[in-house]
Structure 1
Amino acid sequence: MEAHVDDSGRGDTVAGRDEGGLSGVRSVVLVLSGKGGVGKSTVSTQLALALRNAGQKVGLLDVDLCGPSVPRMLGLQGRAVHQCAAGWLPVYADAGRRLAVMSVSFLLAQADDAVVWRGPKKNAMIKQFVSDVLWGELDFLLVDTPPGTSDEHMAVLESLRGRSPAGALLVTTPQEVSVGDVRRELTFCSKTGLKVLGIIENMSGFVCPHCSECSNVFSKGGGEALADEFKVPFLGCVPVELQLARCGEDGRSLLEASPESGAHQILQAIAQRLIIDHGGDGGGGGGSVTASVAVP
């Protein structure tokens, strides 16, 4: 199936639905990072799986149009999106239909096809993802975004206008070169009025598979220091573990592959915090994290 983009400028292509396919979605959470290569898609997919395993109904929207990696990380390569009269049906990652996924990868004729689109076409595609995908009843919709603060991010926020997202999770690695770019992402959140739910420090040490010693090969503490600087929650450090890397390659949940791993424990704790603040028992919303960004 080839990608067809309605770039007519209409924000909603399904008539009569101002919120499009989001009418049954309780909480929308954006996953952001100003830097590429920090493992944002890994965090997004494993967090979606952790929420699903905790009893939540979850959607995962991949808006990294030029580098869609979510289908690979969930073992969904080669799957296709089906259309019906009301819109697009997402691809489900499980038999129970508790994890729905949408990515431009599902719309490409060949998996290795490059998406060579200018800004307006990207924006139209993202608006279609929001308005035309029939997400159904979800506790959470996680939106995995590309690096930066440009067209794709603004298109997502514009598509969500009138329906405020719960907020954003920011992913960084410990090094200053990454922290500096995520600092710009925090100012983006401040300028757009997007709440910051917390910062996750990914690749925070390498855990030896033989002795379990953690070596801080990329330094440590940059994410926590940034959270302290901007007065936003710090959600934890996710170490580099072989099992976590293999799960991303094989499309598996870290809970199933290595439930005792430190990375799984941290991601599970983050999922539980999201459920307490924004979810529930699989059928309702709760309170919200009210931290906003204070720009130093």
Structure 2
Amino acid sequence: MRDAVAAALAGAGQTLESFELNTRVAAHQVQPGLAPLPGVRNVVAVASGKGGVGKSTTAVNLALALQRMGARVGVLDADIYGPSVPAMLGLSGRPESPDNKSIEPMRAFGVEAMSIGLLVDTDTPMIWRGPMATSALMQLLGDTRWGELDYLVVDLPPGTGDIQLTLAQKIPVAGAVIVTTPQEIATLDARKALRMFEKVQVPVLGIVENMAMHVCSRCGHVEHLFGQGGGQAMAAAYGVPLLGSLPLDLRIREQGDAGTPVVVAAPDSEPAQAYLRAAQAMAARLAARPRASIPLATRTL
């Protein structure tokens, strides 16, 4: 954009002295009967029909990519039974509670984060029935002292159970992103997640196809280990965009395990750029949605 402005000015005999790009994100329409959360402009749910497709990795890297684009971003780990966001963001310790009622989110790489994994020991199983898990989710969302956020990325557990239904009925969601891998067995389950959001009137912003191909680090040969074109076919069938096809890359796994996701650890790498392009496409899709009819409320602290 800077080069385009400079070229236009040069054509008119002028010189560009300085250029500053600012981000302004509007609050967008949510489900009927709900209003945007105080201080949070847009809640974006990242979901999958089944586990093991890289949903949490995608959610964290999309959040960090949005932050690199200049947005104020938070991540809510809604996977009560298998929280992984703290490990991926390299977070440890316990969040603070200044008034013994609310919780300060923890921060990593410029994003705010909250997870049940920050409140219990890492090896403590959450042996809870559905109502207890959904109650915990509502507390994590409502009792966290989120700052003024443009996006709150919610990493949902896999499937279409109680937590997903609670999110759809009680939490104002501006849009959802579906994560799948190319093979048919994965897209079959991802279609169910997509249809769930359609039924509860949450717009699907697009599909992210994970592990779409593997590029040999020695010879550059490309192999489609999990099939080819599944995400594109699903996107075409449901009339939603394919936000990106992400590679099966060793760096994504290594850097996620190390607590420094690839968007932070290697921002110029092809995997990081793929996440950035997907985040840009998602943000553009959301920006084209109708804006919230109710003004964004200010959080009272």
- Give the TM-score of the pair, scaled to structure 2: 0.81
In the TM superposition, what are the counterparts of 1:1-296 in structure 2 within 5 Å? 22-76=37-91, 78-85=92-99, 87-94=102-109, 98-108=110-120, 110-160=121-171, 163=172, 165-278=173-286, 286-288=287-289
Q: What is the alpha-carbon distance in structure 2 between the residues aligned to residue 274 and residue 228 of structure 1? A: 16
Q: What is the alpha-carbon distance in structure 2 between the residues aligned to residue 207 and residue 32 of structure 1? A: 26
Instruction: Give the superposition deviation at 1:221.
Output: 0.7
Q: Secondary structure at the match of 1:51?
A: helix
Q: What is the alpha-carbon distance in structure 1 between the residues aligned to residue 56 and residue 80 of structure 2? A: 13
Look up the equivalent residue of 1:252 and give its one-letter code. Answer: T
Look up the equivalent residue of 1:288 and give its one-letter code. Answer: R
Look up the equivalent residue of 2:117 and give its one-letter code. Answer: S
* Contact 2:64 2:264 survives alignment (8 Å): no
Look up the equivalent residue of 1:84 and give its one-letter code. Answer: P
Q: Secondary structure at the match of 2:273?
A: helix
Instruction: Give the superposition deviation at 1:236.
Output: 1.6
Structure 1's consecutive aligned runs of 4 or more residues displaced over 6 angstroms after TM superposition are: none
Q: Secondary structure at the match of 2:41?
A: strand
Q: What is the alpha-carbon distance in structure 2 between the residues aligned to residue 125 and residue 70 of structure 1? A: 16
* Contact 2:169 2:200 survives alignment (8 Å): no
Count of aligned pairs between the two proteins: 257
Relative to 1, partners in 2 of residues 1:176 and 1:189: Cα closer, same or farther, differing over 3 Å? same
Residue in 1 aligned with 2:21?
A: none
Specify every segment of 5 or more residues in structure 1 that has no aligned partner in the other structure, as ranges.
1-17, 279-285, 291-296
Q: What is the alpha-carbon distance in structure 2 between the residues aligned to residue 220 and residue 79 of structure 1? A: 42
Specify every segment of 5 or more residues in structure 2 that has no aligned partner in the other structure, as ranges.
1-33, 292-301
Q: Decide which structure has greater strand share.
A: 1
Q: What is the alpha-carbon distance in structure 2 between the residues aligned to residue 81 and residue 185 of structure 1? A: 32
> In terms of Rg, which structure is larger?
2
* Contact 1:209 1:241 survives alignment (8 Å): no
Q: What is the alpha-carbon distance in structure 2 between the residues aligned to residue 150 and residue 113 of structure 1? A: 22
Relative to 1, partners in 2 of residues 1:23 and 1:140: Cα closer, same or farther, differing over 3 Å? same
